[in-house]
Chains A and B, each alone.
Chain A
């Protein structure tokens, strides 16, 4: 695979309710060891969790920036309550670091000043991307369900507009968000009285069908794929099609090693087959999927036609 200096490896925001201590350890290690270029921080899923770890944000930002990483602060995907509106407005008012907006409320608050558009913003097509760029977007994260044909057109339009285009290449796909907390529901509680049971599931709460087939993961108000998206074999085509940023979503596995594998493939240092075997070793039993890329059911694993 060709060396491509242009494509950057990013680490998406932690979707789960990991404790403040776990988060600190996680990001310190990312700063010190992970070959990622950019790190997204902040609580994207549940506004109730934010108070547990937002006090650490300045320290983490400083530490990551010192390690040469670009830090971007992400806003909530769902904005409904007063505290969610306030949190969004606060981030939208910041000059540094860069921000990634995940809800139209944030776009309103940002009022045309530069920002990134997050994966929850439905930047599905060139017209929407052009509109967003005209309103200050410097970068768009594409929806996880876009097939390769649409990624190509979207990334090209982003390139023409002079903005970045990002695709998730590793980790559980975000399939849905809701106003209701399914973690709380599973434990017979309501969202207001959840007692943060989501903290128990560092990689999401598994749901299986009644005939015992793994299907989905619950993460508070979010529903995720059971499988980890893995686009290692597709990296070269993504880059060739103009995708500028490749996102790894933090899962409860050794993310430093995951980043190292993706980085090695991007640099052309190891073959895809070898990298796949390494990734399998890091992630254990979990299913890998790339169905969305091929326009098929997202959970599917399609054999890559062009894996080198």
Chain B
């Protein structure tokens, strides 16, 4: 039976408390360094803050999951081992990992600890998932956002661990953990440094006509007319010209966010154990709004009531939402 746990983002201790108070079953977060994939300026937790946050969450029956989901570059693994040891010492409920070396380290040095396989590991088949379960004792896989619900249902039958899927937030287009687009333009790596379009390399320019262009590492990613909604300055949401598309088009995806609120009953039925809300880089306001909306929806579904879902479109990128890959193979 699926529990439909709600897994919520926290970029700061205040956001963690907000998420717990809004009804999160678990909150995921990271340290203030490259060991997690949201290593953004001003975000994340010191060890002391994490200690207090774990206490806050546990006192309210919520779990804390520590993201240790980047890939340490050779010669710099110590930072990851430290984070693993500190996290284990603070009693986090699980680690979210991607790198095999990190998984092995945790399995060897902290054998009791629960491991979740990060979306950054890009395990999208039963065999790949079984590999991590078999060797590292992974208890849950966070599935890449590329599968349809029938495909998720099939995978569920063939794996020995729980499934977590994203239900709301930023909609990564590339296979996570396999994307070097940011490092190609900035020299800072998503996999090794935990950044994606780092703000230090982003520049917004306002033009005479009121339009605004976004640049990353000096490359123009997009230019929004006055009447257009904006998106994140990520390469995969940029506008480019191709030989037969000279006018410029969204070559990968337009600015849009994932919102699967209408598909929750089907996902539960397909055997998804936990629903993940993206957005550690977002504000408490976002966390409060999204978590409480999904809390009500999940509670409604569990009680057999039709889910009464708040409108979250104002919080979405480009103020547009999509079911992404989950609804139809045509997305591909």
Contacts and interface: CB of A to CB of B under 8 A. Distances in A.
A and B: direct contact (Cβ < 8 Å)?
yes
Given A104-B131, A145-B192, A125 B99 contact: yes
A185 B251 CA distance: 7
From B151, B184, B222, B239, name the one whose CB has the most chain A CB atoms within 10 angstroms.
B184
Interface string A163-201: 000000000011111111110011100111000000000
A174 B128 CA distance: 21
B189 A108 contact: no
B174 A223 contact: yes
Interface string A109-125: 10000000000101011
Contact of B131 (A107, A177, A211, A292): A107
A154 B18 CA distance: 42
B243 interface: yes
B42 interface: no
Interface residues of A, number: 77
Given A80-B124, A292-B183, A210 B191 contact: no
Interface stretch (A26-34, A253-261, A295-303): A295-303
A149 interface: yes
Interface residues of B, number: 72
Interface in A279-306: 291-292, 295-300
A147 B183 CA distance: 11
Interface string B158-200: 0000000000000001110111110111110101100000000
Contacts of B77: 125-127
A109 B127 contact: yes
B331 interface: yes
Interface stretch (A4-12, A213-221, A263-271): A213-221
Contact of B242 (A105, A153, A207): A207
Contact of A144 (B180, B192, B253): B180
A186 B100 contact: no
A192 B330 contact: yes
A211 B71 CA distance: 34
A89 B131 CA distance: 13
Given A80-B151, A298-B187, A105 B73 contact: no
B331 A124 contact: no
B122 to A, nearest CB: 8
The B interface, classified by DSSP as helix, strand, loop or mixed, is: mixed
B305 interface: no
A105 B123 CA distance: 8
A37 to B, nearest CB: 25
A74 interface: no
B151 A186 contact: no
A133 to B, nearest CB: 11
A79 interface: yes
B242 A297 contact: no
A285 B223 CA distance: 28
Interface stretch (B59-67, B87-95, B101-109, B290-298): B101-109
Contacts of B239: 210
8 contacts: A80-B147, A173-B184, A179-B146, A185-B251, A207-B251, A223-B181, A297-B217, A299-B184
Contacts of A297: 183-187, 217
B71 A122 contact: yes
B75 interface: yes
Contact of A296 (B101, B104, B181, B187): B187
A138 interface: no
Interface string B117-148: 00001011111101110110000000010110
A215 to B, nearest CB: 6
A154 to B, nearest CB: 4
B74 A151 contact: yes
B330 A180 contact: no
A78 B175 contact: yes
A171 to B, nearest CB: 14
Contacts of A135: 135
A143 interface: yes
B248 interface: yes
A157 interface: yes
